[in-house]
Amino acid sequence: MSPHPILDAAVGTPNFAQIFGPVFWGFCISLILCGVSVMQGYLYFTRYNDKLWIRLFAGGMITLDFISMALISQSMYYYMLPHFGSFAPLSAVTPELTVECLISAMLTFGSQMYFAYQLFIIRRPGIIAKLANASVVILGTFGLAGGIGCAVMMFMFPQEVFANRNHTFAILAGISKGFGAAADIVATIAMCLFLSAADTGLTRTSGMLKTIMHLFINRGILVTIAQIGLLITFFATSNHLYWLAFHVNTTKLYVNTFFAMLNARNSVRSAHGQVSRMTESTNHGGVSAIKYSPREKLEDYELDSPGFEKATIHVTTTSTTAAI
């Protein structure tokens, strides 16, 4: 068996563009997504004054994203410029990509745990809600463990990542991406179910909840497609580097969707501003009670909720509390 299956996959004489073309275009997309992250981060830090731990968490996410982009750029430089036309560098993975793999696992886990926190503050009673929260945390933790294991294997066996892939490395990569995708799917479904249960029946409030549900669904679809695409290309096209193009962009999607969810609050409130005005006009003591129907009562509207800024709307029904 050839020691370079990636090279053997090329038809006839190995072509440099055939091998590195998908990685190059994936790298270009990651640069664009990194720019979007910068803009999202700027908008967040200039428009919101959340609790300190959330701002620190967001700062850590954007900082790690910068470091990840720098490491990817250095690896692309190493593979494509000093050794242009040579496939020898493919015999081993760079230390920069090894560290980037670890950062990717951390960013993915951080984004998922913030999503789990959002599920927690909804505070829907019952065993189903607790199981959903626990499932997201457990699945995300398994994904993080797999990602850390991948980084360790890349460090120990750098020659067995691209060519002659290490079997243990492949299993750990499958665990990381598989459990990561499962955590995103469970979190998205749970959030939509919880927000649906929080529907008060009031037209404006229902419209706001539907808008938020669409945001969560879009976030879940994006990151899940990225994780599944990476998983498929990693195993189905093991003789190519297609999976690397997915890898360098998956982390960027997690950071982008994290900041997009934070920054969407102003647009949601603007689209449903009359709800906020109704709240402000009736809320003199911090809480107001509004009777809606015999089967459901809108117990209160609050202008504050854990982890969000003062203008956040906090909707409570008899069955569910939703912080928006």
Q: Is the pLDDT of residue 216 over 60?
A: yes
Tell me: the pLDDT tens digits for 92-132? 888 999 999 999 999 999 999 998 888 887 766 678 878 88
Strand partners, 321: 316
Residue 287 in domain: no
Residue 320 in domain: no
Residue 307 in domain: no
Tell me: the pLDDT tens digits for 157-166? 988 888 788 8
Q: What local confidence, expressed as pLDDT, does residue 118 receive?
A: 83
Q: Is the pLDDT of residue 287 over 70?
A: no
CA 81 vs CA 30, 66, 75: distances in Å: 19, 22, 10
Residue 260 in domain: yes
Residue 302 in domain: no
Q: How far is residue 102's CA from residue 105's CA, in Å, rounded to a whole number?
A: 5
CB 153 within 8 A of CB 172: yes
Residue 124 in domain: yes
Residue 154 lies in domain: 14-272
Burial class (CB within 10 angstroms; exposed 0-12, middle 13-18, buried 19+) of 288: middle
| Mean pLDDT confidence for 21-49 | 90
For residue 175 the two structure tokens come to: 């665990």
Percent of all residues in the chain with a pLDDT value above 70, rounded to a whole number: 73
Higher pLDDT, 129 or 306: 129
Residue 289 in domain: no
Counting the structural domains of the chain, the total is 1
CA 97 vs CA 92, 104, 144, 301: distances in Å: 10, 10, 17, 48
Supply the CATH number for residue 206's domain. Answer: 1.20.1070
Q: Is the pLDDT of residue 64 over 90?
A: yes
